[in-house]
Amino acid sequence: MTSPTPPDVIPDFLSEQFDDLPPETLRGIGDYARKETYVAPDGMPDTTKEAFALQDAETLEAVAAYVDELAAFLEDQDADSLTEVTGQSSDEDEQWGKQRILDWHE
């Protein structure tokens, strides 16, 4: 089984933030993106919360669907993160994403 691919509507810097998160956090992010809760889940990066404020409804719906699919995939793989499954670290990409968000706030 291959890992889910984020839809094109989700910016790369945002989808990369989900690589190191466990299924429980991903499901909470899905609820938060769908506005089923107004409290961000524990473990949701601040940069993700900030990025959500910049996204339109279509993107947030895509994020919710993607993180739910990713959480189900990780549970099937009995893994705590996508990085654990793929063995790839996105530290450099994560730094790029953080810088991109900071640039947007200037």
Q: What is the pLDDT along the chain (106 residues), one digit of tens a residue?
A: 688 999 999 999 999 999 999 999 999 999 999 999 999 999 999 999 999 999 999 999 999 999 999 999 999 989 999 988 887 654 555 555 666 666 766 6
Name which of 10, 3, 13, 16 is nearest 33 in CA terms.
10
The ranges assigned to domains in the chain are: 12-104
pTM of model > 0.75: yes
Cα separation, 34 vs 88, in Å, equals 29
Q: Which two tokens stand for residue 83?
A: 């990085």
Q: CA–CA separation, 89 vs 68, rounded Å?
A: 21
